[in-house]
Each structure stands twice: as C-alpha cells, then as structure tokens.
Chains A and B, each alone.
Chain A
Amino acid sequence: MKGRTSLSAAPGLDVDVATEPLIAWRAWALTGGREGTDLMLRPVAGRARPWRPREIAEAACKSARFHGGPHPGCTCGLHGTHGFEVLRKTRCPAVLGRVALWGRVIEHEYGYRAQFAYPQRLRLICQFCFWMRGPRADRPELVGWFPKDELVPICGEHLTLAARYGMEPRNLLDAAEVDGRLRDTYVVDALAV
C-alpha cells in the first residue's frame, strides 16, 4: 500500500506509506566475553545503545532530546545503506549484515535513517580485508578478544600484520564458532556473500 500525505515537520519531503519493512546493509562492532559469550552488536561510531538480541532496536536522539528519531533536520536514527560500498569506509566494522528498517524511515541518497530496526542476516568480517576487497573477501579465521570486551574478527595474514603495530588480542577464538553463535543469539540467517 502506498499513499502520499504531507508532514509539517519535513517541508519539501514527500511522505509515502508502506506495510513492508525495508531491507538495507549495515555494519556493526561486536562485543562479548573472553570466551566469545554474551555477544552483542553495537554501533561502530559513538556510544549509542547496543542492539540487544531478540529486541527491536529503537532510535534515540542524544543531540536533541525533544524530538524522536529519525528527524528530517538531524542525523539521528538507525542507519542502513543501499549498498555495502559505503560501509567500506566505516571505522572498525566487525559484522556485516542485512537489516530490516521500519517505523518512520527517512530515505537518503545512499541509505536510510529509521525509527526501528532488527538484523536479518549477519556474518563476521575481517575489517582490513573488507576495506581492501569488500564483502567477498575471504572470511576471517579468528576473533581476537581485547580489553573492554571488544571482539575483532581477523584473518591470519592481518593478525600477523596487526601484531607488528601492537594490536595483540588477549585471547583468540575460532571465527566460525563465534559466527554461528552470533546468528543463534540473534536468531538470524547467514549472509550469503
């Protein structure tokens, strides 16, 4: 179903109405325990709220609490992108996936800002391989556990390279195991690419 109305808060922007969630690309950071337990998707930037398993993620605006996210005149909202190329510029992504967006969604040139979201497909990525070759790069073999419960999926080649620059994990986990546990935790399918 589609229709058009006017929205006083967003002059110049058309408003469509739909009943199917939009599916977009998104990258997350990942945290968890030393043994890869208590996995949690988190936004890659800032200190926004984590995406809790089996719970709807809801946008909240920290810069202006008097409006609900996403607001047309702000950058708030849960972000998703039309393609994965935009995400290759993301700082330290650990997980790549497809995400469902609904509620109020503002469509931009290269992506969306949404009121509600939940991941649909997920896979771990080596951030260095993703930067260089995109999502079709080889899958990471290991997941490094760092202080503050940061989990960093990484391939063997880049683990060696990262160690030369002082990036040494306190523990190493099998990436396939963490990948499966992540999908079980969020009850989602594997990303095909």
Chain B
Amino acid sequence: MDIGQPKRIIEIVPATLPVPGEIPGQVEPAAPEHEPSAPAPSEPAEQPAG
C-alpha cells in the first residue's frame, strides 16, 4: 500500500489509551465513608498485554 512521502513525525502520548480496560495512571477512588446501600456491579479486571 502506497501512502506517499513522509511529511512529519508526531510523538503522541495519550492520557487515556483507546484500548478496552486500559486506563493508565488511573487512581483508585477513595473508600466511601459509608457503605453503599446496594453493592455496585463489579467488572472483571483486564490487563491487556503488549
């Protein structure tokens, strides 16, 4: 596939990676002062390799 001549270089360091389950730098929320009345649905933790 011919994409022509190179024009410039872009160094992209995204704040959030566009990959499911991948949120680098995410800080764990502080524990609530009171227990919630109903348990929140939990999602399985995903750790994409690469």
Contacts and interface: CB of A to CB of B under 8 A. Distances in A.
A45 B18 CA distance: 25
Interface string B1-42: 111111111111111011111100000000000000000000
B4 A101 contact: no
Contacts of B45: none
A113 B7 contact: no
Contacts, number: 119
Contacts of A45: 1
Interface residues of A, number: 45
A18 B12 contact: yes
A101 B20 CA distance: 15
Nearest to A15: B9
Contacts of A79: 1, 3
B12 A89 contact: no
Interface in A34-81: 45, 52, 54-58, 72, 79, 81
